[in-house]
């Protein structure tokens, strides 16, 4: 929202305040200060009973962070005419709406809570003996309504932007990533099947085998292809068949006789042939485009970063699976450009991109987010895997000498910050945690890995 629009909203807020006397404004502020915690309690007591609220809010989050935030919000809204900071309060409402859109909290849920606050205000005012009790209640209702309106304006604008980005990402992913993974994922599906067959025919007394849904192919399809082809009828069928192969493979592991295991493998092969056939149908619409990718490294750029991280956070929360993020930055990169030239710097960046792609699975995401900064989003990955990949990337870059077409040779290093997702619905906190870990790695001497859990839910 532009400066002119913010100024207009600030003037409207000021106009609401000017329609009440100084006494009314002061008495209202004193009332809010005295009862803010009660009003906050009413807000969360009622919306926490809504089924939809449990996805966005937890008792721990409400108790440790959100109650304090809402309490301060109430006080700030009614301290405005005393402080005359109308521009500032409007900007705060716009930011709240933006955060709600980023997390995906439905606006009706917030309005339900605001309604409970207003109901409690009237009950409390009914107990007052002040002559202006009705005016105080009217002022509170108007301010809460106007503040909510500003939040909703911001919410709708930002939600529309997010939806547009999600739509274009689906198109981009369908065209670019799926096509580039075509041969690799065909082989991955066959490798999973052949590995299981080999273990059975080798007569190993006790063996383990990953679920298809946790294999290279399964993770890639569930986290990337399924989203890329949202709406295609083949997607749900393929996911059903993947889970069917999971059940059959578990039965193979528990089979009492070899003949029974062989019979189950035959069912798996038939099931997987159908998966392959359906995937081939999806591949027929895929073709490479470079929109959304970095032209130098061929990694994803920032355009779809928030869409992808937000989606994987939703998946992690829904399925209770781990999610990790690596923030990677080339050490003293400016020195490379200054000493050897920008062509050498480009060679270093391209090499980082190659190392990142070589180090991850098809289900993971690699980004160049700007300059010499990179991100790896590791799905279904705990800190153990994240640290292993981080060390693999760090050591390979440190040990490799870059040789350019101009005959220049040099070595360089990277610093890496690692964060484990902690369950908070706001993806920006996750990104900030990885950035904080990277900053710590830089301060710790560079060419190292700093691991941190996401900031506490406080």
pLDDT digits (tens, 9 = 90+) for 380-415: 999 999 999 999 999 999 999 998 777 889 999 999
The answer to whether position 210 is within a domain reads: yes
Summarize pLDDT for 299-337 with one digit per residue, the tens. 888 878 888 898 899 899 989 999 999 999 999 999 998
Report yes or no: 28 and 125 within 8 Å, Cβ to Cβ.
no
The answer to whether position 76 is within a domain reads: yes
Report yes or no: 452 and 344 within 8 Å, Cβ to Cβ.
no
The answer to whether position 292 is within a domain reads: no
Task: Please give the Cα distance from 70 to 43 (Å, whole number).
Answer: 9
Can you say whether residue 72 is alpha, beta or left, with left for phi > 0 and alpha for psi between -120 and 50 degrees? Answer: alpha
> What angle in degrees, to the nearest 10, is found between the helix axes of 22-47 and 107-126?
120
Which range is least confidently modeled, 84-98, 145-159, 171-185, 246-260? 171-185
In this structure, the strands spanning 323-330 and 365-370 are unpaired
55 vs 212, which has greater pLDDT? 212
Same domain, 16 and 98: yes
| CATH label of the domain that carries residue 112 | 1.10.490.10
Residue 212 has pLDDT above 90, yes or no: yes
| CATH label of the domain that carries residue 446 | 3.30.70.270
Same domain, 227 and 346: no
Q: Where are the alpha helices (DSSP H) in 19-66?
A: 22-47, 53-56, 59-61
Task: Please give the Cα distance from 234 to 276 (Å, whole number).
Answer: 11
Domain boundary at 283, 316, 338, which?
A: 283
Sign for the pseudo-dihedral over CA of 154, 158, 159, 164 = positive
Q: Tell me the two tokens of residue 30.
A: 């004193």
Report yes or no: 246 and 220 within 8 Å, Cβ to Cβ.
no
Task: Please give the Cα distance from 92 to 348 (Å, whole number).
Answer: 42
Total domains in the fold of the chain:
3
Task: Please give the Cα distance from 30 to 87 (Å, whole number).
Answer: 22
The answer to whether position 288 is within a domain reads: no
Q: How confident is the model at residue 287 (pLDDT cuts 50, 70, 90)?
A: very low
Same domain, 209 and 139: no
Nearest one of 339, 327, 357 to 402, comparing CA atoms: 339
Domain boundary at 166, 185, 210, which?
A: 166
Same domain, 191 and 112: no
Provide the domain limits for residue 408: 302-453
Same domain, 343 and 211: no
The answer to whether position 172 is within a domain reads: no
Q: Tell me the two tokens of residue 8.
A: 């207009």
The answer to whether position 289 is within a domain reads: no
The answer to whether position 238 is within a domain reads: yes
pTM of the model: 0.62
DSSP reduced 3-state for 301: coil
Same domain, 149 and 193: no
Task: Please give the Cα distance from 113 to 119 (Å, whole number).
Answer: 10
Domain boundary at 137, 166, 195, which?
A: 166
Same domain, 211 and 158: no
The answer to whether position 252 is within a domain reads: yes
């Amino acid at each position: 929202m532009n400066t002119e629009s913010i100024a207009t909203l600030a003037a409207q807020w000021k106009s609401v305040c000017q329609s009440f006397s100084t006494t009314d404004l002061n008495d209202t502020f004193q009332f809010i200060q005295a009862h803010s915690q009660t009003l906050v309690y009413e807000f969360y007591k009622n919306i926490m009973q809504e089924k939809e609220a449990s996805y966005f809010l937890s008792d721990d989050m409400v108790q440790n962070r959100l109650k304090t935030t809402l309490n301060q919000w109430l006080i700030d809204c009614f301290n405005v005419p005393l402080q005359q900071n109308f521009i500032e309060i409007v900007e705060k409402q716009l930011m709240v709406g933006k955060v709600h859109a980023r997390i995906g909290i439905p606006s009706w849920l917030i309005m339900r809570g605001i309604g409970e606050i207003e109901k409690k205000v009237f009950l409390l005012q009914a107990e007052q003996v002040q002559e202006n009790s009705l005016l105080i209640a009217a002022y509170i209702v108007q301010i809460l309504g106007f503040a909510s309106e500003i939040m909703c304006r911001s919410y709708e604008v930002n939600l529309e932007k997010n939806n547009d980005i999600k739509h274009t990402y689906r198109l981009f992913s369908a065209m670019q990533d799926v096509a580039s993974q075509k041969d690799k994922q065909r082989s991955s599906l066959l490798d999973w099947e052949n590995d299981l067959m080999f273990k059975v025919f080798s007569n190993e007394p006790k063996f383990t085998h990953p679920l298809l849904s946790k294999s290279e192919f399964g993770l890639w399809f569930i986290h990337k292809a399924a989203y890329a082809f949202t709406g295609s009828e083949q997607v749900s069928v393929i996911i059903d068949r993947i889970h069917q192969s999971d059940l059959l493979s578990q039965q193979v592991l528990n089979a009492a006789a070899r003949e029974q295991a062989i019979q189950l493998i035959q069912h798996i092969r038939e099931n997987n042939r159908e998966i392959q056939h359906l995937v081939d149908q999806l591949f027929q619409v895929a073709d490479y485009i470079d929109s959304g990718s970095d032209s130098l490294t061929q990694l994803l750029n920032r355009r779809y970063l928030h869409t992808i991280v937000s989606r994987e956070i939703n998946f992690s929360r829904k399925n209770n699976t781990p999610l990790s993020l690596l923030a990677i930055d080339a050490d003293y990169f400016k020195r490379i450009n200054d000493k050897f030239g920008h062509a050498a710097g480009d060679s270093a960046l391209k090499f980082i991109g190659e190392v990142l792609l070589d180090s991850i699975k098809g289900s993971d995401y690699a980004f160049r987010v700007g300059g010499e900064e990179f991100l790896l989003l590791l799905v279904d990955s705990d800190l153990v895997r994240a640290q292993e990949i981080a060390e693999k990337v760090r050591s390979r870059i440190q040990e490799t000498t870059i040789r350019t077409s101009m005959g220049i040779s040099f070595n360089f290093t990277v610093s890496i910050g690692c964060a484990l997702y902690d369950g908070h619905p706001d993806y920006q906190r996750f990104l900030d945690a990885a950035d904080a870990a990277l900053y710590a790695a830089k301060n710790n001497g560079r060419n190292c890995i700093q691991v941190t859990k996401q900031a506490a839910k406080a």
